A and B are shown apart, each in its own frame.
Chain A
Amino acid sequence: MLGSFAVLRKQSLLGDAISHAALPGIAIAFLITGAKDSNILLIGALISGLIGTFWIRGIISKTHLKSDTALGLILSLFFGFGMLLLTFIQKQPNANQAGLDKYLFGQAATLVESDVWLMAIVTGICLIVLLLFWKEFKLLLFDADYTKTLGFNTKFIDILITTFIVIAIVLGLQTVGVVLMSAMLLAPAAAARQWTNSLGIMVVLAAIFGAFSGVVGTAISASQNNLSTGPVIVLVAAVFVLISFLFSPSRGLLFREIRFRKNRRDLKLQKTLSFMFNIAKTHEDISHPHTIKILNNFQGFTRKTLQKLVDQNYVTISENMWSLTPKGFDSAANLYNQNQNQNE
């Protein structure tokens, strides 16, 4: 759901950076408390995720580095630091240490009821904030400078969106893990974008796709032994993306190809007809028969197009001669105008 905003801001990789940035937070929280309480670990993740995000912001605005450079820098820096801490923790004689690496790839099986409640509540809060500030979010995403001139505090809106993206990511960490979290954020949004041109529908669709991949992925992994849930969920989401790329009616590759072919075929037909029209025009009688041979001069002419024209009653054929019907003549005379009207 919140992924929609990340995608539209062209900050798709931000999710990746945030989830990786969360790792040292988890490790540090563990080091400080020595306990494996997931709530505390998530707070640690939240804090370091936010620090990472605002560092990225800082780098982009204060230096000449591009945003992808800043993202990559922070991502690897935090992840490296997090891995360092994890190995350090593993060497420690603490019985609790096992299982921290589950945050790397996620393990839905370790979720307990209280975790689920936490997720539900935070999702609810996200939803309310989203509905309240819908107008402001949309405006900022589309045209940030203009938003400023209307008197809105763009920094506030910006921080609000970013904070909620970070929260969403941190919550998903337990399920999908650091490495795959960004896919969970982006895949549903990318899939949803293919189906609609309205921001509202896009957000709703993304939420549905995301929830659906979660449910289906969990079901698949539960039905088989030794399939970890996180990757399965991400794969299901990826299937959604693939289907959307191929089959969505307006943006999908398949329908675009079909439309493209059909359009070309129609145009070819029309051009053939107009070629015939130009010949027929020179005679008093429009139905005056001509040999089919002269049509061979016309590039793109085939027997098939001729047959099609016959089927549409534009042309009649007898032996090796063709002639235009009055219907064919009229429509050929109006071809260009027709085309114009269709395009309007």
Chain B
Amino acid sequence: MDKIAVKIDDLTVAYNYKPVLWDIDLEIPEGVLMAIVGPNGAGKSTLIKSILGILKPIAGSVSIYGKSYEKQRSLVAYVPQKGSVDWDFPTTALDVVMMGTYGSLGWIKRPKQKEKKAALEALEKVGMLSFKNRQISQLSGGQQQRIFLARALVQNASIYFMDEPFQGVDATTEIAIINILKELRKAGKTLIVVHHDLQTVPEYFDWVTFLNVKKIATGPVKDIFNDDNLTKTYGINYKVSIQE
């Protein structure tokens, strides 16, 4: 058996009265590139946010490599939804990527040359080096998404959580991003990605979790990505019919 990177037990989350996530048990093995799919309001983002402690679950526990998330924080990086921040904030692309180093710096200490170098390398990896001094409001949606990815890369984590990194980006950026994700997986990292485009799941991912408030199924794409699970998740008779 592979090592388990993330283990979730009985996770239940509710915003008001209605539960958004119900009794989620999930084990994510190390080194997979996993998609979380499900309809709108299925709790995909909520799942990630609860794992990361941004939201407080009503019940349940999360462990990262067998220890609590608080102790393993440095192993985990997060790419939020692009729309979650104000891109008119007065700062540059490089500065945003530098933020990825703040966690390892801790309180009060300032980023130095070493951090700057790491940020520049990450920018280069996502193909945004020439935009380093660009005001972030003047970047296109795809470029902003790459900046967010670079910020997570700087954290040099083992597990990456990404909330819809392909949302609103053009084909070029989508390919650039998926190539970086595949590279990360090759390096032994674990990647958990909230994903919307069902067509590309078999092409991009090797592991998938179907979610709709409850967990429907989880496992290798080639075994469980089928019409049966899709129908269970989306409620309608869904046919993607994977080509053999």
Asked if A and B bind, the verdict is yes
Chain A residues in the interface with B (C-beta under 8 A): 8, 10, 132-136, 138-139, 141-143, 145-146, 148-152, 193, 196-199, 202
Q: Total A-B pairs in contact (CB under 8 Å)?
A: 76
| Closest Cβ neighbor of A143 among chain B residues | B85
Q: Does B166 contact A (CB under 8 A)?
A: no
**Residues from chain A with Cβ under 8 Å of B73 in the complex:** 149-151
| Closest Cβ neighbor of A64 among chain B residues | B16
Q: Does B205 contact A (CB under 8 A)?
A: no
A149–B80 Cα distance when bound, in Å, is 10
> How many interface residues does B have (CB within 8 Å)?
31
A136–B108 Cα distance when bound, in Å, is 7
Docked-complex contact A138 and B52, CB < 8 angstroms? no
Proximity string of chain B (49-84) to chain A, C-beta cutoff 8 Å, 1 when within and 0 when not: 100111000000000000000100110111010001
Docked-complex contact B53 and A197, CB < 8 angstroms? no
Q: Taking chain B's interface residues, is the majority helix, strand, or loop, or is none over half, making it mixed?
A: mixed
**Contact check: which of B76, B85, B109 meets A149 at CB < 8 Å?**
B76
Whether A8 contacts B111 in the complex (CB less than 8 A), given A139-B99, A142-B99, A143-B99, comes out as no
Cβ of B160 to closest chain A Cβ, rounded Å? 11
Docked-complex contact A146 and B99, CB < 8 angstroms? yes
Chain B residues in the interface with A (C-beta under 8 A): 49, 52-54, 70, 73-74, 76-78, 80, 84-86, 89-92, 96, 99, 102-103, 105, 107-111, 135, 137, 151
**Residues from chain B with Cβ under 8 Å of A139 in the complex:** 99, 102
Docked-complex contact A148 and B52, CB < 8 angstroms? yes
Docked-complex contact B91 and A149, CB < 8 angstroms? no
Q: Taking chain A's interface residues, is the majority helix, strand, or loop, or is none over half, making it mixed?
A: helix
| Closest Cβ neighbor of A193 among chain B residues | B90
The 6 A-B residue pairs with the shortest CB-CB distance in the complex, in nearest-first order? A150-B103, A149-B78, A197-B135, A151-B73, A143-B85, A149-B52
Docked-complex contact B80 and A146, CB < 8 angstroms? yes
A141–B107 Cα distance when bound, in Å, is 16
A44–B110 Cα distance when bound, in Å, is 37
| Closest Cβ neighbor of A156 among chain B residues | B107
Docked-complex contact B86 and A10, CB < 8 angstroms? yes
**Residues from chain A with Cβ under 8 Å of B91 in the complex:** 138, 142, 197-199
**Contact check: which of A134, A136, A141, A150 meets B89 at CB < 8 Å?**
A141
Q: List 8 A-B contacts (CB under 8 A).
A: A136-B108, A138-B99, A139-B99, A143-B85, A146-B78, A146-B80, A149-B73, A151-B74
A148–B137 Cα distance when bound, in Å, is 23
Whether A143 contacts B90 in the complex (CB less than 8 A), given A148-B53, A149-B52, comes out as no
